[in-house]
Amino acid sequence: MIKKVQANDRLGKKIKVKCLPTDTIEDLKKVLSLQIGTPYDKIILKKGHQIYKDHISLDDYEIHDGFNFELYYG
């Protein structure tokens, strides 16, 4: 089942992305990087104090449809 997630940076930019539950955080960053023009390895995805690691899948993090990430640049 395809999930729709959103990444918000603190400058008001909101990027919506469709992804699969088996996609990793790195896969998600690569899609985001194409949309915002920033190299994927410079993107940091957070929620509160949680920093999401590249090699873990969205399912393993229990990320649901409509989830909002905080997007930071590193």
Domain count, the chain: 1
Q: What are 54's two structure tokens? A: 């590249």
Expressed as residue numbers, the domain containing 21 is 3-73
Q: Which amino acid is at 23?
A: D
Q: What is the pLDDT of residue 12?
A: 86
Which percentage of the chain shows pLDDT scores above 90? 89
Encode pLDDT of 23-54 as tens digits. 999 999 999 999 999 999 999 999 999 999 99
CATH code (residue 16):
3.10.20.90
Q: What is the pLDDT of residue 11?
A: 85
